[in-house]
Amino acid sequence: MREAVARFVADGAAVAMGTCLEPAIPFAAGHELIRQGRRDLTLVGPISDALFDQLIGAGCVGRVVAAWVGNVSEGLGHCYRRAAERGVPRSLEIRDHSNFSISLALWAAAWNAPFMPTRTLLGSDIPSGNPDLVPEDGWVRVQPVKPDVTILHVQRADAAGRAHAWGPMGISEEAGLAAERVILCCEELVPSEVTLSDPNRVLLPETKVVAVVHEPGGTHPAPLQGFWKRDHAAHREYASRSRTAEGFAGWLREWVLEMPDRKAYLQRVDPTLRISRHLFSAPVDYGDE
Amino acid sequence: MSSYTAQELMVAAAAREIADGELVFVGMRLPVLAYGVARSTHAPNARALFELGLLRDSPAEAFLGTMGDPPNVVRALWSTRMSNVMSLLAQGLADLGFIGGAEVDRCGNLNTSYIGDRAQPQVKLPGSGGGADIAILSRRWVTLMSHERRRLVERVSYVTSPGHGDGTPGWRRRHGLLGGGPAAIVTTLAVMRFPPEGGEAMLASVHPGHTVEEVKAETAWDLRVSETCGETEPPSALELEQIRRLDPEGFWTGARE
């Protein structure tokens, strides 16, 4: 993880994360960005639960291009509030979207289209604060949003960058296709025989993937289908401690800055959050002759 | 089963907004419970859409903190990408949507973005999520919120999710908005309804234990009272049983006696 983040995410980069909304959020990658002290990032995402709030609180972010920043089960994002209301720890440029419009902006970039027309956002004030959303007569022009890097966490991947992901995908596909490059974090690193046995399940072309990081538990406290439940208590604790800047600083020290890596972090995670009731799908037949 | 929380009553009232056979854009929090109640009572053929990429019939078998919790994916009818779900919404195929609000006005416009000046807000709220999309594109929608004078305002300072605009008849059609707009506001004190052609919210029923005067005092505009305004029907034993099955610890519906 350390090497992937160091090599492929520069200061000032536009980074898409949390593209499945609540599940499969690459928290481990976000925490590594904080440890390496990235600055002036543009965060791109729909609803990415509390990850964006943490990166904003740590001072890594200069611009937010998103539909929602907060804490899904708890409500407001306190670091987001401090940054937007008082410029603490620094001020932010906010380019608001809806979930639909951020998806369209990424598809526009993925297809190399000059813009995407949509009927959503008519009558809303959202376009008035975002130069990428231009109201026309009876429709809205959505300008492309192109991430420098999209970071995804999937259930399994092979070393060549073929990811198998399941569960709801949110905007992962358009974020991956639109991005200059993709960092894949995976729960299991598997031989290519596994991924190639089911090419319909491969999320993205391997040509987009620049790094594969084997990072079990990398989505905690977000859930991952088949592997991890959501840690509601951790979200509650984060909401309560991040209410003040001092409280957030203490949380950040304990869970991010003084945590050498995800392995050490997982030592402190409730082991009952690991999913134990497994429900396997029926295999499919790719027979050819 | 005589006692219940304000949130349990809201869930029951919201559930009754769902008609059998409807496609419901569910969202988060209390509407997830409302959908589960409706499915188990009067709307056994309803289906639920979740914007992260899910279609369901039966509600999840375990508690959900978010729509993305693993139990919501088990036995889903469809697990897909968000843009596929949005395609149904964009075609006007979602009969009913639910949107949470921080601030709502007389004409049903919702603000979930900025309280105060946008450049230096007094409170930065999380933003739209899928709220604006639901408000503009679903056939009708319902909002749930805590009934406080600071939240039910004459005119929201920022329209995240448009309702009936300035309240003039046909405002939505004139501005190209696809769906019919807000049908009802369900709060901790009352249910308010909008006329089908748009306009302003009227008090439709007051929850048991509260009065019209109290509701009016907690509403910042001069709330008109419908001629048929009565008492909100309390949750039935069956509705409460379903709510408590889906939220056994009262995470969403509050402390119970």
CATH number of the structural domain spanning residue B127: 3.40.1080.10
Q: Which two tokens stand for residue B1?
A: 């089963």
Number of compact structural domains in chain B: 2
Chain B residues close to A102, C-beta within 8 Å: none
Give residue for tokens 């499915």. B39
Residues B108 and B40 both lie in one domain = no
**Hey, are the CB atoms on B82 and A21 less than 8 Å from each other?**
yes
Whether residue A41 has pLDDT greater than 50: yes
Q: What are the pLDDT digits (tens) for B212-228?
A: 999 999 999 999 999 99
**Hey, are the CB atoms on B70 and A275 less than 8 Å from each other?**
yes
Q: Does A49 touch chain B (CB under 8 A)?
A: yes
For residue B70, give the nearest of A70, A119, A223 by CB distance. A223
Q: What percent of chain A shows pLDDT beyond 70? A: 100
Q: What is the pLDDT of residue B129?
A: 96
The Cα–Cα gap between A21 and B56 comes to 18
The Cα–Cα gap between A80 and A94 comes to 10
Q: Which two tokens stand for residue B189?
A: 């004190």
**Hey, are the CB atoms on B90 and A173 less than 8 Å from each other?**
no
Whether residue B208 has pLDDT greater than 80: yes
**Hey, are the CB atoms on B83 and A275 less than 8 Å from each other?**
no
Residues B129 and B146 both lie in one domain = yes
Chain B residues close to A76, C-beta within 8 Å: 123, 125-126
Whether residue A208 has pLDDT greater than 50: yes
Residues B138 and B110 both lie in one domain = yes
Give the minimum alpha-carbon distance from B135 to chain A in angstroms, rounded to a whole number: 9
| Residue-number span of the structural domain to which B182 is assigned | 101-232
Measured CA distances, B246 to A136, A193, B45, B238, B240 (Å): 44, 41, 19, 13, 10
For residue A126, give the nearest of B52, B53, B160 by CB distance. B160
The Cα–Cα gap between A255 and B97 comes to 38
| Residue B56: closest C-alpha in chain A | A168
Phi, psi of B60 (to 5 degrees): -60, 150
In B78-137, DSSP assigns E strands to: 78-79, 96-100, 103-105, 110-111, 114-115, 123-124
ipTM over 0.90: yes
Q: What are the pLDDT digits (tens) for A221-233?
A: 999 999 999 999 9
Residues B117 and B218 both lie in one domain = yes
Phi, psi of B136 (to 5 degrees): -85, -35
Q: What percent of chain B shows pLDDT beyond 70? A: 98
For residue B175, give the nearest of A123, A168, A232 by CB distance. A123
Q: Which two tokens stand for residue B2?
A: 């005589």
Q: What is the pLDDT of residue B154?
A: 97
Residues B89 and B122 both lie in one domain = no
**Hey, are the CB atoms on A168 and B159 less than 8 Å from each other?**
no
Q: What is the pLDDT of residue B1?
A: 43
Contact criterion met (CB below 8 Å) for A80 and A94: no
Mean pLDDT of B126-139: 97
Q: How many CB atoms lie within 10 A of CB A171?
A: 32
Mean pLDDT of B130-157: 97
- Show Cβ contacts of residue A130 under 8 Å, excluding neighbours closer than 6 positions: A95, A96, A97
Measured CA distances, B20 to A135, A159, B76, B85 (Å): 36, 49, 19, 20
Contact criterion met (CB below 8 Å) for A222 and A230: yes
Q: What is the pLDDT of residue B28?
A: 84
Q: What is the pLDDT of residue A283?
A: 97
Find the range with the poorest average confidence among B72-76, B158-162, B202-206, B248-252. B248-252
| Residue B84: closest C-alpha in chain A | A170
Whether residue A136 has pLDDT greater than 80: yes
Most A-contacting residue of B25, B74, B133 (CB-CB within 10 A), to test interface: B133
Give the minimum alpha-carbon distance from A100 to chain B in angstroms, rounded to a whole number: 7
Residues B52 and B132 both lie in one domain = no
* B51 flagged as catalytic: yes
Whether residue B185 has pLDDT greater than 80: yes
For residue B159, give the nearest of A118, A125, A170 by CB distance. A125
Mean pLDDT of A109-133: 98
Q: What is the pLDDT of residue B257?
A: 46
Q: What are the pLDDT digits (tens) for B232-242?
A: 999 999 999 99
Whether residue A43 has pLDDT greater than 70: yes
The Cα–Cα gap between A124 and B165 comes to 9
Residues B106 and B171 both lie in one domain = yes
Residues B65 and B139 both lie in one domain = no
Measured CA distances, B34 to A9, B18, B59, B182 (Å): 43, 9, 10, 17
Mean pLDDT of A169-181: 98
Residues B121 and B165 both lie in one domain = yes
Q: Which two tokens stand for residue A161?
A: 């960058």
Chain A residues close to B253, C-beta within 8 Å: none
Whether residue B256 has pLDDT greater than 70: no
Chain A residues close to B160, C-beta within 8 Å: 124-126
Residues B195 and B226 both lie in one domain = yes
Residues B90 and B115 both lie in one domain = no
**Hey, are the CB atoms on A98 and B125 less than 8 Å from each other?**
no
Q: Does A167 touch chain B (CB under 8 A)?
A: yes
Q: Which of residues 74-113 of B touch A (CB under 8 A)?
A: 74, 79-83, 86, 89-90, 113
Give the minimum alpha-carbon distance from A12 to chain B in angstroms, rounded to a whole number: 22
If you count residue pairs, one on A and one on B, with CB atoms under 8 Å apart, how many are there?
Answer: 189
**Hey, are the CB atoms on B53 and A232 less than 8 Å from each other?**
no
Q: What are the pLDDT digits (tens) for B106-120?
A: 999 999 999 999 989
Q: Is the dihedral of CA A170, A173, A175, A178 positive or negative?
A: negative
Give the minimum alpha-carbon distance from B152 to chain A in angstroms, rounded to a whole number: 18
The Cα–Cα gap between A68 and A61 comes to 15
User: How confident is residue B255, by pLDDT bands cut at 50, 70 and 90?
Assistant: low
Question: What structural domains does chain A harbor?
Answer: 2-273 (3.40.1080.10)
Q: Which of residues 1-30 of A touch B (CB under 8 A)?
A: 20-23
Mean pLDDT of A163-191: 98
| Residue B80: closest C-alpha in chain A | A168
Q: What are the pLDDT digits (tens) for B2-13?
A: 599 999 999 999
A11 or B254: which carries more pLDDT confidence? Answer: A11
Q: What is the DSSP letter of A263?
A: H
Q: What is the pLDDT of residue A31?
A: 98
Catalytic position from the list B17, B51, B103, B200: B51
Q: What is the pLDDT of residue B254?
A: 87
Whether residue A76 has pLDDT greater than 50: yes
Q: Which of residues 191-250 of B touch A (CB under 8 A)?
A: none
Q: What is the pLDDT of residue B196?
A: 86
**Hey, are the CB atoms on B130 and A80 less than 8 Å from each other?**
no
Kindly report the average pLDDT of chain B as a whole number. 95
Q: What are the pLDDT digits (tens) for B32-45?
A: 999 999 999 999 99
Residues B90 and B66 both lie in one domain = yes
The Cα–Cα gap between B23 and B46 comes to 6
Q: Does B66 touch chain A (CB under 8 A)?
A: yes
Q: What is the DSSP letter of A73?
A: T
